[in-house]
Copies of this chain bind each other. A is one copy, B any other.
Amino acid sequence: MNFPLSLNTITVKQRWGLAECIEGCARHGISGISPWRDVLQAMGVEAAARQIREAGLTVTGLCRGGMFTAADAAGRAAAIEDNRRAIGEAAAIGARCLVMVCGGLPPGSRDLPGARRMVEDGLHAILPEARAAGVTLALEPLHPMTCADRSVLSTLGQALDLCEALGQDVGVAVDVYHVWWDPDLRRQMQRARGRVAAFHTCDWLVPTTDTVFDRGLPGDGVIDIAGIHGMALEAGWPGGAEVEILSHRWWAQDPDEVLPLLKERHQAFC
């Protein structure tokens, strides 16, 4: 059985805009797409929604909402407003979820519990709009090495605690890159039953030379992707993955050469 593959647009961000991504998915037989908001806005939300629909692609997610942490109340309010726009965009393109990257420590702050409270407050603030729009918020725990500057949401367990505080209709985005190391992963994936709203793949390279932009193609690193995908299936995930690779190396390649590789690796590991 082949599980469906989705292209996260950041994987080819230096070469293709969203229109080219949509055409590329169709050309290479990739059935899903997950745009980032910058390429979505550049193309125009309505035009993108139409072209995606015409191409018959599943929108596995919109990347990304979140970034709730800020040094002052005005900054936090602006983040919430921006999340409201993101919810509207996710609804307009029929995205299965809005992926939430929650934000790091505010500049100059060492108050990690305080930053985590800002995230929880921000999620509570936007949840009514998300529900009204029928958009599932997918809380994405990010690797602890991003805690200072990208996400104080660091583990799947922490994301599931937040889900429980927020309600039944909030989910998690499981990216193997962010969770593979977790000694508590199997237990938390069991706990995630019914909550897995997105499943992302790439790989952890040895050595890893950049904390953000040195991800590998599935199979080029040490993550047991098949094993984690299996845990997701057991947790009710229907199967499939969105390949999301932030990598200076792969960004430099021709996407028409990268996409066949993504398909090949995806079939090997999912």
Q: Which residues of A contact B (CB under 8 A)?
A: 105, 109-112, 116, 143-145, 147-149, 154-155, 157-158, 180-184, 204, 206-208, 211, 221-224, 227
Other contacts beyond A116-B183, A145-B211, A158-B184: 13, CB < 8 A: A110-B227, A111-B224, A112-B224, A143-B144, A147-B180, A147-B181, A148-B204, A148-B206, A154-B181, A154-B182, A154-B183, A157-B184, A208-B211
Q: If the complex has contacts A155-B183, A157-B184, are A208 and B145 also in contact, measured as CB distance less than 8 A?
A: yes
Offer 16 A-B interface pairs, CB within 8 angstroms, sorted by A.
A110-B223, A111-B224, A112-B180, A112-B224, A144-B144, A145-B211, A147-B180, A148-B181, A148-B204, A148-B222, A149-B207, A154-B182, A155-B182, A155-B184, A157-B183, A211-B211
Complex CA gap A208/B212 in Å reads 10
When the two chains form their complex, are residues A149 and B206 in contact, meaning their CB atoms are under 8 A apart? yes
Complex CA gap A221/B155 in Å reads 22
Complex CA gap A224/B110 in Å reads 6
Q: Which residue in chain B gives the minimum CB-CB distance to A109?
A: B222
Q: B residues within 8 A CB of A221?
A: 148
Interchain nearest-CB distance for A181 vs B (Å): 4
Interchain nearest-CB distance for A187 vs B (Å): 12
When the two chains form their complex, are residues A110 and B222 in contact, meaning their CB atoms are under 8 A apart? yes
Q: B residues within 8 A CB of A144?
A: 143-145, 181-182
Complex CA gap A225/B112 in Å reads 12
Q: B residues within 8 A CB of A109?
A: 222
3 nearest A-B residue pairs (beta carbon): A147-B181, A144-B181, A145-B145
Complex CA gap A154/B206 in Å reads 17
Q: Which residue in chain B gives the minimum CB-CB distance to A112?
A: B224
Complex CA gap A184/B155 in Å reads 10
